Amino acid sequence: MSAQLIVRNVTVIDGSGGPPVADAEVAIEDGRFTAIRPSGKTTGGGVTVYDGRGGYLLPGLWEGHTHLRARPGEGDADQVARLEAILAGYLAAGITTVLELGGPLDIDGRLRERHRTTPPTGAAELFFAGPSFTGINGWPLALHQNHSLVREAGDAETARRMVLELEGETDFVKCIYDGEPGAPDKLPRAALQAIVKAAHERGKSVLVHIATKRDIEEAVDAGADCIEHAFIPENPDDLTEAEDVADLLASTGTYFSPTLAVFEQLGRSGDKTYLAGLARDAIISPGEVAEIASRPAFGAPFPHHPAAETLTRFRYGVRSLPIMRDAGVKIVAGSDIALFMSRPAALLRELQLLADAGLPAGDTIVAATRYNAEKIRKATSVGTIAPGQVADALLLNADPLGDIMHLVRPGHRVAMIRHGHLTEAVE
């Protein structure tokens, strides 16, 4: 029998969306939760007891949409080490799982190989798509020109073959379904359908990046598991488009990851009051404001995403959120790229934006935990606090259901548990 850890004297918010359980303790063994029960006094040989001092224990958070592209020119070993350091930074922020939606297969695969026998207790878990599927020369090649980060499919047969080639190497599939309908750089609709079919045959979910309502309709029709990104409305003053999308996503059980944080960054790039707000909300430090403002990228145009259109998209996404919530859409939390803040902070900003837009704090926690696990079909093993689940958790000293900022502000973090291993937060 291996060493047991008991975290005692906590309120458990288990990530399922159910009511919190006060005066509880959780038992952990071999990296998994074994029991959630009333706080007791049992001790025994081989049992380590950690006093949670009336804190709040929730599942470790998930970053549901990011890109961890290593720096060009680094050697392979350096890239793996750097990736591991990035994942350690996530864990320090209470984020125990990271989903990479499009990235370098070799580096992510090498990291996985390294962790095959011993799960890393000092870094977040990584699940990844490998290269994204897109059209010939499709987005995001205009951004990085790196053909190793994508699979370009011009027809259904090629698309199917490429999904099968990646079969044993990746955790889920990411498609970019963006661009003028019928344009050569847009993934053909038949290719999208073939990708979803092949992925589902192999038990993988398919997450689809979209731009418009029509893209969403076609992606849902193809069988997409999750729609990535809020859409660009035809008429920003008309919320009936959002109502239609909400009904479609709710009735089909399709997950929805609006990635508000990235559109806020692109839409408000160059706006110094944006940075001041980030500092006020502890997303960046006060000292970073001037440094970020002086970067050439701050205020510079971003390919494929004109600032005005992106700001409209952000605001429409925010206004749509209560409609999505009321319709019963399963909203998941992911931030996409972090331009003006750290990657972990980008997810925390997304949580704040979701809550500010009207998602109740309990639903925001579900969005960052259980629904992210469900969207990549891992929920039977990780994402909630329940017996048998991987013991990834976050201990706070204040109630995140009372105020989402208790989750966002770093000062409330007491400890992180990763695969059963507890590390106290450092101030």
Span near Zn ion by CB under 5 A; candidates 37-45, 176-184, 199-207, 332-340: 332-340
- For Zn ion, give the closer residue by CB, 101 or 219: 101
Number of residues that bind Zn ion (CB under 5 A): 2
> Which 8-state DSSP code applies to residue 70?
P
- For Zn ion, give the closer residue by CB, 65 or 330: 65
Q: Is the peptide bond before 360 cis (omega within 30 degrees of 0)?
A: no
Q: Does 218 bind Zn ion (CB under 5 A)?
A: no
Q: Does 336 bind Zn ion (CB under 5 A)?
A: yes
Q: How many helices (H) and strands (E) does the chain have?
A: 15, 17
> End-to-end distance of the chain based on CA atoms, in angstroms?
35
C-alpha to C-alpha distance for 292 and 295, rounded to whole angstroms: 5
C-alpha to C-alpha distance for 182 and 151, rounded to whole angstroms: 18
Minimal distance, residue 336 CB to Zn ion, in Å: 4
Binding mask 44-83 for Zn ion (x = CB under 5 A): ----------------------------------------
Span near Zn ion by CB under 5 A; candidates 96-104, 241-249, 282-290, 378-386: 96-104
261: its two tokens? 């944080």
Minimal distance, residue 103 CB to Zn ion, in Å: 10
Span near Zn ion by CB under 5 A; candidates 33-41, 99-107, 288-296, 305-313: 99-107
- For Zn ion, give the closer residue by CB, 101 or 260: 101
C-alpha to C-alpha distance for 67 and 46, rounded to whole angstroms: 40
Residues 6+ apart with CB under 8 A from 145: none
* 41: exposed, middle or buried (Cβ count in 10 Å: 0-12, 13-18, 19+): exposed
Going by their DSSP bridges, the two strands 226-228 and 206-210 should be labelled as parallel
Position closest to Zn ion via CB: 336
Q: Does 100 bind Zn ion (CB under 5 A)?
A: no
Count of residues making up the chain: 427
- For Zn ion, give the closer residue by CB, 144 or 421: 144
Span near Zn ion by CB under 5 A; candidates 101-109, 355-363, 370-378, 399-407: 101-109
- Given the rule CB under 5 A, which residues bind Zn ion? 101, 336
